[in-house]
Amino acid sequence: MAVTAQDVGDYITNLVPGWQLGGEEGFLWGDPGSEVSGALVAWMGTVQAIEAAAAQGCNFMLVHEQLTYPYPSRGPALEQCLHWRSNQARLSRLAKYGITVYRAHGLLDTYCILDDFGRKLGLPEPAVSEAYFRIYDIKPLTVGELADTCKAATDMPAVRVVGDMDRIVSRVGAPWGGLGLSLNVGFIEGLLGYEPDVLIGGESDEYAMFLVQDCDVPFIELGHTTSENIGLQRVAQEMDAALEDIKVIYYPVTCPWQMR
């Protein structure tokens, strides 16, 4: 039975009953009416992810992050930036391979990404679960011990830590994904209102790190992709089981920088 890109998009939207797609979500590129040969799930539609989709015969991509630069609400309109090298690199390949791209951002955050992050780290059921806020009460241990636990759970060689490694902590706040960045300081401030004594997050920057330092709350940074790939892998597995007429592949977009 033929499966169209719209069929796959409808399946994704219905993961959260009653979900209304935001302006940043839905089809970003391609033809919703096209027949799908295979779907690739990736954190972002990077050049490497697009090439992987083409190599594996996938003409549909489900991505979590924005496809083009700059972010729509923080820069010129796309038509003014089509000549940017990154946009040309991605869009020219999508056109060449005939790939349709669908974005699910807040939808997948709500469906699984935040809670899968907590489970992967071995955290208990949240003591606070309100909108995007999650607070976990854990057995007391040092920040250093907690950082080591996070490294082991995510197979990371190292993490960045703000604060005293020897401090005993027991209440975790989780600014996953990009919610630990300075552009989301309002979220960080809201999270601190639940009185966590340590934060375990996705991506951060020095502006935000100085903020939590001044608040005397340690922060363990694991990375944007590391914190969100966990949920995306589960979504790919569920799609593969549910959409029997097409293959579904998970592509791990990993942190782009190295340490030496």
Tokens of 67: 């496809």
Place of tokens 């954190």: 43
For 176, phi then psi, to 5°, come to: -70, 175
> Under CATH, what is the fold of the domain 5-104+227-251?
3.40.1390
Determine the residue type at 191.
L
Q: Write the CA distances from 103 to 127, 155, 158, 187, integer angstroms.
A: 30, 27, 30, 23
For residue range 207-217, list pLDDT tens digits in order: 999 999 999 99
For the chain, the structural domain boundaries read 5-104+227-251, 111-221
pTM of the predicted model, to two decimals? 0.96
For residue range 144-181, list pLDDT tens digits in order: 999 999 999 999 999 999 999 999 999 999 999 999 99
Per-residue pLDDT of the chain (260 residues; tens, 9 = 90+): 899 999 999 999 999 999 999 889 999 999 999 999 999 999 999 999 999 999 999 999 999 999 999 987 778 888 999 999 999 999 999 999 999 999 999 999 999 999 999 999 999 999 999 999 999 999 999 999 999 999 999 999 999 999 999 999 999 999 999 999 999 999 999 999 999 999 999 999 999 999 999 999 999 999 999 999 999 999 999 999 999 999 999 999 999 998 88
The CATH superfamily assigned to 111-221 is: NIF3 (NGG1p interacting factor 3)-like (3.40.1390.30)
**5-104+227-251 and 111-221 have identical folds:** yes
Pairing label, strands 198-201, 219-221: parallel
Order the strands of the 160-162 sheet from edge to edge. Answer: 128-130, 133-142, 168-173, 198-201, 219-221, 160-162
Which residues are registered as beta bridge partners of 220? 161, 200
